[in-house]
Structure 1
């Protein structure tokens, strides 16, 4: 039996009538498929429809085989034991009962043929780097990243024929990511993964690009997809240029035709006025000229309309590659100026930074380390959101902090109103002109923050911080690429290229950090901030 997923005329809309998918036809066969698309295109919705978590408005999903689904947001009961989370608790308890001499029939029925369930469970944990947690601990004793891997281990134990992963590397540190990458690379069945993690997408066999309610297929991994897309877009842009030239030519020909017809009308009127020919003959000529003129005009107008239609189709094929463009000279920090000082810092939750650390000038610093090492706590302490238990965390320039949750926005206020909160002295016109650089143009700036997509919400939060008064000369970002599509990540990178202040970024996304032009890499581990390199970080994670 060939395992597969088939979507036929699949349509889905939210209760408020917002359409997400309409008449989608797609088929996913054996192998690894990367499902990509801009925020709001319907990727997560499609996975939920395939998994049966949502019901389509119309059409059908047919799955040949069993399904395993790892959602984007995972919540596990913290009191649950690990073997319960893996779904093997009952069989394990029955096995232990039999081993202790209890030969009740229900124990044998529970175990069935799965006599090696405990060994397989421990092997699945070990494969994902979770061998140290065992089967008897509670979920509350493992980190957030480990709980994601725990859910994946549960799926691997079930051995589903079709595996659906929605942003599986969100909140995973580099070490956990590499474990997940290895599991994906060795997956033998049908796998569909939605992710912004470039390293993960390099492991897929094909890319399904969900755009405008339809899927375009590209063979190969994400790099092959980008190359094919670049060729396609270059051809589309050439088509636009040809269509624009054709439209200009048709407009000129229409004007020329109108000039010629006007001359003929003037000549005909002159002949009529001078009465050089019999009235009947002149009338016939005038009617013939009018009919000819009408046909001529209609012909050119039809050609012009066709040229406009061709241009519209050509423009539609070119993707919107708008980039955030920021020019904030007030953010510049002179080389050598002291920006941040840390001294013998002890923080809440037991996190600490022993010794001292100084940041000078427009440095770009990457903060890396395992989940639970204290990166977020450190950033929140520097930002003043958490008071240090002891020691010093002193910021010497205007600073802003963008947290993972993007909770700096008021959902009831518009984008423009949110930015105005951070720059109370700026005029409405100034705010709107600056927001346009963050791709919030016209009425879009009046949309409430609560109604924004994930990518839009991120851009709005970034705009609020970077357009703040005073302008931030130290910008701190905590896992900024989580939940962003690839286009939004590129927009973020472009925006940060224009930023002239100091940058402190905590992230597990090595490709993103490398693109920022990082000048110093710092590893937070065991309460120590130590210099490192991207190569060393990658090697440690491997």
Structure 2
């Protein structure tokens, strides 16, 4: 692993009073502060909280509207979505083409000064490049090969290799394991585990977050720090939330007590008023004395009432503060009885199927099986799903679905960006009334104005939730649901919501995913693997 050149003690990343607002006026960060030293930091938070925007600001791809960012050393940044030019050679993608050219020129006898200037001390550039590629599992990739020949997962590793060769002092990674297969994820995990500079990684990959030294939770525009890896964070958060809930219960009890005391105070004051009026009416004391006592009673009553009113106000404020400390990551709660599939019913049949990718498959699915489809990047998993969904015709053989089915692609492109969430769902359930659609969308956490948002304005997590709602609320109800890498770009809360939603689904499920913890939470009943063009049953992961 190539390491940063600046001494660890001298590296730092500091954001002071940072502010950023999108051109349309939408605020993202306001008076934000962050200090990161050497070590591995996992940056987590809800979708839309500003994690990716923060990395872009630090990397210089966006300009803050307020505050400052100071970084000691060189920055390396791996964004979520940065496709490589397919016409580039591998050495160009790695950023070493000009150094190789200078090296080769010198080896061929050209002693021009500019070649030595370009090369510097990097005489072993090719050896370092190949060692880095080997470390990331890209052993068979030649430096003169074109990028267009590599898979999507390999292109992510190529971009990472380019950063490692630069040896930056600060490394920023934004969802680096998206679309990586299991072996590629493991190699990236190893690269992260071996990093000794400043590393900030945005990820929902729980296995990757187990390798960090600390968790930075971005919530409501502020960073909350937790020492240790993701498991330590979950343990600390559970203790924190248990304490917060106890505080809420105590604050609620205090509010009720203050309400009772205020009511008692009103009763006592009313009795004093009645007694004073009675004494005044019977004229048992001189008028001047009674008027003085009446004024004193009114002043005392006002102070008493104000005291209890103020105490109630303070109790309510404490309750509000305590309630804010309790996280409210709402869960999707749905009931989908019409998706149920009887245990013996045939759901899917593949006979002598050969896809455009060249995959050969024979398969029969019966009843509400929950199937995980695994395989290396580029093995043809997405092509197989698209063939089953009817988006691509098979090269040979047949793929027959015997029940209503729906397919959710990685790109989440089933929504019309110009239509609202309600209108998009209505496209899949044209006979459902507006009120019925809204009532069911509320269970997917789209209520009121949220349901009237155009799909083009939704965050990644919201878009996934809207897409899932459109499929699962479709008519007829899908009894076979096919999902392609559904957890990509989802925050932890959204993944939990997805698992909760799929727990209510009673049909057959076919999921492509490299997220092993997610698959285990789904209760997978059958594991299939694509390898060398063959679809076969495999052992549980």
TM-score bracket for the superposition, by shorter chain length: over 0.9
SS at match of 1:131: coil
Structure 1 stretch displaced more, 104-113 or 451-460 = 104-113
Cα distance, 1:16 vs structure 2: 1.5
On the 8 A contact 2:526/2:540 being kept in 1, the answer is no
Structure 1 residue 245 corresponds to structure 2 residue 248: no
Cα distance, 1:174 vs structure 2: 1.1
Structure 2 unaligned residues grouped into runs of 5+? 1-6
Alignment match, 2:474: 468
Q: For residues 241-284 of structure 1, what are the alpha-carbon distances to aligned partners after superposition, in whole Å with 9 as ceiling and x for unaligned?
A: 00000001111111111111122222222222333332222222
Matching residue within 182, 196, 204 for 1:188 = 196
Alignment match, 1:228: 236
On the 8 A contact 1:510/1:534 being kept in 2, the answer is no
C-alpha distance in 2 between matches for 1:18 and 1:109:
47
Alignment match, 2:4: none
Structure 1 residue 484 corresponds to structure 2 residue 515: no
Matching residue within 281, 293, 298 for 1:285 = 293
C-alpha distance in 2 between matches for 1:484 and 1:315:
26
On the 8 A contact 1:236/1:317 being kept in 2, the answer is yes
Structure 1 residue 418 corresponds to structure 2 residue 410: no
C-alpha distance in 1 between matches for 2:59 and 2:125:
26
On the 8 A contact 1:365/1:520 being kept in 2, the answer is yes
Alignment match, 2:36: 28
Q: For residues 58-95 of structure 1, what are the alpha-carbon distances to aligned partners after superposition, in whole Å with 9 as ceiling and x for unaligned?
A: 11111011111101111211111000111111111121
Matching residue within 367, 373, 376 for 1:367 = 373
C-alpha distance in 2 between matches for 1:241 and 1:415:
37
Matching residue within 231, 249, 264 for 1:256 = 264
C-alpha distance in 1 between matches for 2:363 and 2:266:
76
Aligned counterparts, 1:154-165, within 5 A: 154-165=162-173
SS at match of 1:493: helix
Alignment match, 1:407: 413
Structure 1 residue 175 corresponds to structure 2 residue 158: no
Alignment match, 2:157: 149
On the 8 A contact 1:162/1:190 being kept in 2, the answer is yes
C-alpha distance in 1 between matches for 2:233 and 2:199:
18
SS at match of 1:425: coil
C-alpha distance in 2 between matches for 1:526 and 1:319:
46
C-alpha distance in 2 between matches for 1:273 and 1:145:
93
Give the TM-score, by structure 1 length. 0.97
SS at match of 2:211: coil
Aligned residue pair count = 533
Alignment match, 1:82: 90
Aligned counterparts, 1:115-514, within 5 A: 115-348=123-356, 350-354=357-361, 356-514=362-520
C-alpha distance in 1 between matches for 2:329 and 2:60:
34
* Structure 1 moving runs of 4+ over 4 Å: none
Structure 1 stretch displaced more, 267-276 or 370-379 = 267-276
Aligned CA-pair RMSD: 1.1
C-alpha distance in 2 between matches for 1:99 and 1:395:
62
Cα distance, 1:452 vs structure 2: 1.3
On the 8 A contact 1:351/1:377 being kept in 2, the answer is no
Q: For residues 284-341 of structure 1, what are the alpha-carbon distances to aligned partners after superposition, in whole Å with 9 as ceiling and x for unaligned?
A: 2221111111111100100000000000000010111311111111111110110000
Cα distance, 1:429 vs structure 2: 1.9
C-alpha distance in 1 between matches for 2:474 and 2:424:
10
SS at match of 1:75: coil
- Pair 219,534 (structure 1): closer, same or farther in 2 beyond 3 Å: farther
C-alpha distance in 2 between matches for 1:341 and 1:174:
28
Alignment match, 2:3: none
SS at match of 1:188: coil
C-alpha distance in 2 between matches for 1:101 and 1:388:
56
Q: For residues 411-437 of structure 1, what are the alpha-carbon distances to aligned partners after superposition, in whole Å with 9 as ceiling and x for unaligned?
A: 122111211111122222221121111
C-alpha distance in 2 between matches for 1:454 and 1:61:
26
Structure 1 stretch displaced more, 385-394 or 182-191 = 385-394
Cα distance, 1:371 vs structure 2: 1.1
C-alpha distance in 1 between matches for 2:438 and 2:262:
40
Cα distance, 1:114 vs structure 2: 1.0
Cα distance, 1:106 vs structure 2: 2.4
Cα distance, 1:46 vs structure 2: 1.0
C-alpha distance in 2 between matches for 1:53 and 1:281:
80
Cα distance, 1:534 vs structure 2: 4.0
C-alpha distance in 2 between matches for 1:433 and 1:264:
53
C-alpha distance in 2 between matches for 1:386 and 1:275:
100
Alignment match, 1:533: 539
SS at match of 2:413: coil
Aligned counterparts, 1:31-50, within 5 A: 31-50=39-58
Cα distance, 1:166 vs structure 2: 0.4
Alignment match, 1:540: none
